[in-house]
């Protein structure tokens, strides 16, 4: 039910309208970066494929006149082992430099934000997606920054307790992606986490890809398709396990298992989907 009134400050950069060509390319950096990371994941397959082709064409044989000359094979090996990884590193450095620039530009544009009448702000429904882990003996949502929250909460600023998040120039507030696809991509980088669907309320900043807002309600949690242990069979049940972190810090961590991998887990460390749904007070689907 989307019946809540929400207020969002539209955070648009002047550059976005004026320098369409340059800026669009810049704003789509996130998409380009996602594509690049996908490519890097399959790079070992591409490399092995090329080596197999070179081998089949006789590039590694002792023949005096192979189909693929030895110099080409050697060049390819150097390329695969040295040049391509170096290029990848340079591209990542490029990404981080331009992300820093974009962050500075955002901050600058925020300084120029006129003191607006809070009752005259643009209204926008803030529905988003994000990834969380489930931790604690009694399961609780844990954001990627380590902050824990229940299904319905107001954000608090750890750094400046007098802040009512979100505050301009600070990082406080609840974050969410606007697009499910972006949250799914993050999930593919962080296996073992869960994807949730949230509504954000109160004052919020609207970015191109997401929101940062005052309060948050979790609507639903997406039950992972596959077991987090064997990664093959369909997941059936939630289980909690002990994790030992830095400085002997021990915490409970929740994951999902298939009916095979759940064998051996004590009954008191298991929760069915319905039980988890009740504990978290959100739908699981
Ligand atoms: Zn703050
Ligand atoms: Zn399994």
Q: pLDDT at residue 278 above 90?
A: yes
How many angstroms separate the alpha carbon of residue 233 from the centre of ligand 2? 5
Comparing 19-28, 71-80, 151-160, 214-223, the range with the smallest average pLDDT is 19-28
CB-based neighbours (< 5 A) of ligand 2, an ion: 227, 229-230, 233, 258, 261
Q: pLDDT at residue 155 above 90?
A: yes
User: What percentage of the chain exceeds 70 in pLDDT?
Assistant: 85
Comparing 115-124, 142-151, 219-228, 255-264, the range with the smallest average pLDDT is 115-124
pLDDT at residue 105 in the model: 80
How many angstroms separate the CA atoms of 222 and 131, rounded? 10
**Looking at per-residue confidence, does 27 or 204 come out higher?**
204
Q: Which phi-psi region, left, alpha or beta, contains residue 202 (left: φ > 0; alpha: ψ -120 to 50)?
A: left
Q: Which residues of 219-251 are buried (b: 16+ CB within 10 A; e: fewer)?
A: ebbbbbeebbbeeeeebbbbbbeeeeeeeeeee
Q: Where are the beta strands (DSSP E) in the chain?
A: 9-10, 126-135, 140-142, 148-149, 152-154, 174-177, 194-206, 210-222, 237-244, 250-257, 270-271, 283-284
Per-residue pLDDT band for 169 (boundaries 50, 70, 90) equals: confident
Per-residue pLDDT band for 124 (boundaries 50, 70, 90) equals: confident
Q: pLDDT at residue 21 above 70?
A: no
Per-residue pLDDT band for 145 (boundaries 50, 70, 90) equals: confident
How many angstroms separate the alpha carbon of residue 39 from the centre of ligand 2? 28
Rounded average pLDDT over 254-279: 96
How many angstroms separate the CA atoms of 135 and 145, rounded? 13
Question: Rounded mean pLDDT of the chain?
Answer: 84
How many angstroms separate the CA atoms of 191 and 183, rounded? 12
How many angstroms separate the alpha carbon of residue 236 from the centre of ligand 2? 9
pLDDT at residue 8 in the model: 47
How many angstroms separate the alpha carbon of residue 163 from the centre of ligand 1? 5
Q: pLDDT at residue 110 above 70?
A: no
Backbone phi, then psi, for 51, in 5-degree steps?
-65, -40
Comparing 88-102, 173-187, 220-234, the range with the smallest average pLDDT is 88-102
pLDDT at residue 10 in the model: 41
How many angstroms separate the CA atoms of 67 and 54, rounded? 9
The ligand with the least distance to the CA atom of 214 is: 1
Place of tokens 């990404």: 95
How many angstroms separate the alpha carbon of residue 157 from the centre of ligand 1? 4
User: What percentage of the chain exceeds 90 in pLDDT?
Assistant: 49
Q: Report whether 207 contacts 201 (CB < 8 A).
A: no
pLDDT at residue 151 in the model: 95
Going by C-alpha positions, the residue among 203, 15, 215 that lies closest to residue 117 is 203
**Looking at per-residue confidence, does 17 or 215 come out higher?**
215
How many angstroms separate the CA atoms of 267 and 34, rounded? 40
The ligand with the least distance to the CA atom of 168 is: 1
Longest CA span, the chain: 82
pLDDT at residue 111 in the model: 64
How many angstroms separate the alpha carbon of residue 154 from the centre of ligand 1? 13
pLDDT digits (tens, 9 = 90+) for 180-231: 999 999 999 898 999 999 999 998 988 888 999 999 999 999 999 999 999 9
Q: Report whether 213 contacts 149 (CB < 8 A).
A: no
């Amino acid at each position: 039910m989307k019946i809540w009134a929400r207020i969002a400050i539209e955070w648009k950069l002047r550059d976005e309208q004026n320098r369409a060509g340059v800026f669009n390319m810049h704003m789509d950096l996130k998409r380009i970066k996602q594509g690049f990371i996908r490519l890097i994941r399959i790079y070992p397959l591409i490399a092995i494929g090329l080596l197999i082709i070179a081998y089949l064409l006789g590039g590694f044989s002792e023949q005096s006149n192979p189909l693929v000359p030895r110099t080409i094979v050697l060049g390819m090996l150097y390329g695969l082992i040295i040049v391509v990884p170096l290029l990848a590193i340079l591209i990542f450095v490029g990404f981080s430099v331009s992300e820093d620039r974009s962050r500075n530009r955002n901050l600058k544009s925020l300084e120029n934000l006129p003191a607006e009448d809070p009752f005259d702000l643009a209204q926008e429904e803030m529905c988003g997606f994000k990834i969380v882990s489930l931790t604690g003996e009694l399961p609780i949502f844990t954001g990627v920054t380590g902050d824990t929250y229940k299904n319905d909460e107001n954000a608090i600023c750890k750094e400046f307790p007098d802040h009512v998040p979100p505050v301009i120039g600070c990082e406080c507030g609840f974050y969410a992606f606007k697009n499910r696809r972006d949250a799914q991509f993050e999930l593919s980088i962080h296996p073992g986490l869960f994807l949730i669907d949230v509504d954000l309320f109160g004052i919020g900043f609207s970015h191109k890809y997401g929101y940062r807002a005052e309060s948050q309600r979790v609507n639903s949690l997406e039950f992972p398709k596959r077991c987090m242990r064997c990664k093959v069979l369909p997941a059936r049940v939630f289980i909690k396990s002990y994790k030992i972190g830095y400085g002997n810090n021990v915490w409970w961590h929740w994951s999902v298992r298939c009916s095979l991998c759940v064998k051996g887990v004590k009954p008191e460390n298991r929760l069915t989907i319905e039980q988890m749904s009740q504990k978290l007070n959100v739908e699981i689907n």
